Chains A and B, each alone.
Chain A
Amino acid sequence: MRRKRRKTTEASFSDPLSDYSPPEFDDDLEEALCDNDMTVMALTPMVTVNVETTVNKTMQILAEHGVACALVIDDEQKLHGVFTERDVLDKVAEQYHMVKDLPVRVVMTHEPMCVYAMDMPAKALNMMATGNFRHVPVLDFDDKLIGVLGPRRVTGFLSKYTQ
C-alpha cells in the first residue's frame, strides 16, 4: 500500500534564500530532530572489526553482541565499510562454506554513507529513509569514527517524545 507523497505546489514553494528568520517548529520532537546535532542521539557502543577479520568471526561477534551491524575498520581506525545482517542474507547465507573463512572486506558493504557529528538528526533519518540504510556511521570533523546510528537508537529517541 503506497501512500501518496506530498506534492510541492507552486503556491507553497518559497525561495529559502529569501527567508532569514529562524526556523519555527510545530513541536519539541521536530525541534529536537532539526535544531540539534547528532550527539543528542545514542551513538555508542559500536561493534568494530578489522578488515582482515574472517566472515565467520564477524558473524560470531554480531551474534554475541546481539547487534545487526559491525563497522569495518583498518589498523588506523579508518572506516572502510559495514557488515550487516543484510550482507549475511545477500552474500553469505547461500554460500556460507565458501565465504566463511574469507576476510570480511570481501563481503562487506564498501564506503557506506555517513553523517557528521555536527549534522542534524533529521538528516540521518532522511538518509536512512531515502537510501534504505538501517545503520549510518557517524564521523567527527576529522573523519574519525565516533559511533553509529541504528533503528533501535532512533526508536529510543523518538519514544522519549511520544510517551
Chain B
Amino acid sequence: MARIELEQVAKSWGDVVAVEPTDLVIEDGEFVAILGPSGCGKSTTLFMLAGIYAPTGGEIRFDGHLVNRVEARDRNVGIVFQSYALYPHMTVAKNIRFPLKFKGVPADEAARRVSEAARLVHVEELLDRLPAEMSGGQQQRVALARALVKEPQLLLLDEPLSNLDATLRLTMRAEIRRLQRRLGVTTILVTHDQIEATTMADRVVCMSKGRIEQIGTADDLYQRPNKLFVASFIGAPPINLLDGRAERGTVRVGELTLPASGIEGAVVLGIRPEHLGLSAPGHGLAGRILTVEPLGRETLYEVATPLGSLRVLEAGSERRWREGDASGVTVPDEALLIFDKASERRLETASLALAEAA
C-alpha cells in the first residue's frame, strides 16, 4: 500500500505534449478515478505510474521514495489493461502465476496465492482454460487476479470495464469496488465513463488536453464544476450552455435581459436539464417542444425558447407534452452556473436573478 505523489509530472513525445506538468496526491488506500475524453493524457499518466513510460519532467513518489528511474518490474504495481492483455499461450493458472515467477516465491506458496487470487475473483473453475476459451468478463476477472496476486502497493485499472456488456459492467463495478475496500490497496482507475468514475472512486480527477481540470467528489464535479469543460463533460444528458454578455448589472442572453451583479464581459450560462421545468404556456420562458425522448424513468424534451434550444429532463415516464406543443420553461435561479467565457472558469461570486420572462 502506498501514498502516491505526482509533482509537476509531464510527458511529451517530441513536440507532442501528452501530459502537461501535473500535481496530484493520492492517499494510501484511496480509490481515485482519472476521468476524461480519449486523448486527454489519462492513460499516459497511468503508464507513467506503472513505469511503462518515463516522465519527461517532474517527480513521481511512492511513499516518499522517488521512483522516476525505477523500472516497471521493480515498482510492485498491478495493472489491468483495457484489452486484459492475458498471455494467450498460458492457461489461467499460469497467467495468474506469472508475476510470482520473478519474485522467487516458493512453489507451494505460489500455488496457494494463485488459488487464493482465483477465488477472490471467482475464476477457480477456469484455471485450466486458455484466454481464448473464455468470455470477456471471465478474462477481465483473470486479469484482475493476475494484478492482485503479487499483492501490489498500487493497483492500476486502464478502462477495465469498457469491453464488457452493460449488465456485466454493473456487476464488475460493484465487485472491483468491494475488492478494493477489502484489500485496502491504493487504486487508480482510468476511464472515459463518468458513471464508472463517480460510482467507484472516492475522488475523481477530471482531465482534458493533458491537464487536470478539477479534482473532487462526484458531487463537487456535478454541482460545483470549476471549469466549463468539467460542466460540459460531466452529466448525461449534457448541461445546457448559453452564451451571454454581462454589462452594468445585467446579463443578456439572446433576446432576454436578466438582472445580474458582480460580473462583466462575455459569459456562459450553464443549466442542468433536470433544473429546468415545463409548465403551462405563459409561465416562464415561452417554449415549443421540438423532440421527446422517453428514457424510461424520466423523459428528455428538447424545447425551442428565446434563449435557444434547451434540454429539459422531467422525472417520470408519463409524457405530458408532445412534439409541437407550446409550453413554458421555468428556471430556478440558484441552479445556474456562470462561467467567464475567456478563462472558462466558473464565476463563484456572481449572482443572477432570472426574472419571469415577460
Are A and B genuine complex partners?
Answer: no
Chain B: residues with CB nearer than 8 A to chain A?
none
